[in-house]
Structure 1
Amino acid sequence: MQWVKSFAAGALATLVFHQGLLALLHFSGVTPAAAYNWSSTPPLGVPAVLSLAFWGGVWALPLWWLVRYKPARLFWWVSLLFGAIAPTVVAMLLVFPLKGLPVSAVTWAGGFLLNAAWGLGTALFMGPVFRCYPRTLEIPG
């Protein structure tokens, strides 16, 4: 059940925190990319924002695996750092080149910022919202 909650936390964090920050950046004129993009994505024609939410849920699974036995202070820091680094590196080194999108220092910085917000949002939804707190490691014997 914890894995389902984690997936849901990552998907929701994408819609609220990642896309929410992107909307704020767009409205303030920092980025030309608008949030909550409903245009279809190939090959299945799924709206881009729903595809992004799905992948946010998928990324939450390894995040939960990393933080499930961490004390509270590490739970938040690992979530922030994992969110900022892992999805950004994969996006910039794999996804953007495959889609023919330009990669620059600005896209790296934006990725780190947006994905760090996703990581913190995922931690918030995993912990206080879904009560999916890290557990203590119990060694039988």
Structure 2
Amino acid sequence: MANPKQQWLQAFTAGFIATLLFHQGVLALFWLGGLIPAFPWNMTPVPPLGVPQVMSLAFWGGVWGLPVWWIIRRWQGMEFWLSAIVIGAIGPTLVAMLLVFPMKGLDVNATKVVGGLIVNAAWGLGLAAWMQFNRWRWNA
């Protein structure tokens, strides 16, 4: 088993990568299906640091990886996967819809809530996949 510091670094990395691949990947499918107008992996600089929007989002995905990993790390099997998907879907979506969207002056509607749940569930799955792969490597 890896040391705790390494696990937390892996949890951040998992959340970061899950954002770039799984979260944005599902958004790409939505975009290809004509369900959303904006292309994913948005490189537009955002304040205050001027980093690309997708990198800012990936950073926050990494931050979210820490509490989600803390919650799911002890579970095995189907419990591990389902909890990652459910917690990944609900936690970030609630924060986005109740805090982030109002702060940015964005409207919240049922379509955005459902879309958020779907892309964040995919993010949770990606986080779990990365952590499961590393758990396998730690025990090898």
TM norm structure 1: 0.90
Q: How far 1:5 sits from its partner (Å)?
A: 0.6
Kept in 2: contact 1:80–1:119 (CA 8 A): yes
Q: Which runs of 5+ in 1 are unaligned?
A: 136-141
Please give the secondary structure, in 2, of the residue aligned with 1:131: helix
1:131 alignment partner in structure 2: 135
* Corresponding position: 1:112 with 2:121: no
- The aligned runs of 1:1-141 (5 Å cut-off) are 1-128=6-133, 130-131=134-135
Q: How far 1:26 sits from its partner (Å)?
A: 0.3
Report the residue type matching 1:7 in the other structure.
Answer: F
Q: How far 1:132 sits from its partner (Å)?
A: 6.5
1:138 alignment partner in structure 2: none
Distance 2:17 2:116 in 1: 18
Distance 1:10 1:103 in 2: 24
Q: How far 1:107 sits from its partner (Å)?
A: 0.5
Q: How far 1:89 sits from its partner (Å)?
A: 0.3
Q: Percent of pairs identical after alignment?
A: 54
Report the residue type matching 2:135 in the other structure.
Answer: R
Please give the secondary structure, in 1, of the residue aligned with 2:8: helix
CA-atom RMSD in angstroms: 1.5
TM norm structure 2: 0.91
Please give the secondary structure, in 1, of the residue aligned with 2:135: coil
- Residue deviations 1:19-70 (CA, integer Å, cap 9, x gap): 0110111011011122000001111111100001001110010011101111
Distance 2:136 2:35 in 1: 35
Q: Which runs of 5+ in 2 are unaligned?
A: 1-5
Kept in 2: contact 1:14–1:56 (CA 8 A): yes
Q: Larger helix proportion, structure 1 or 2? A: 2
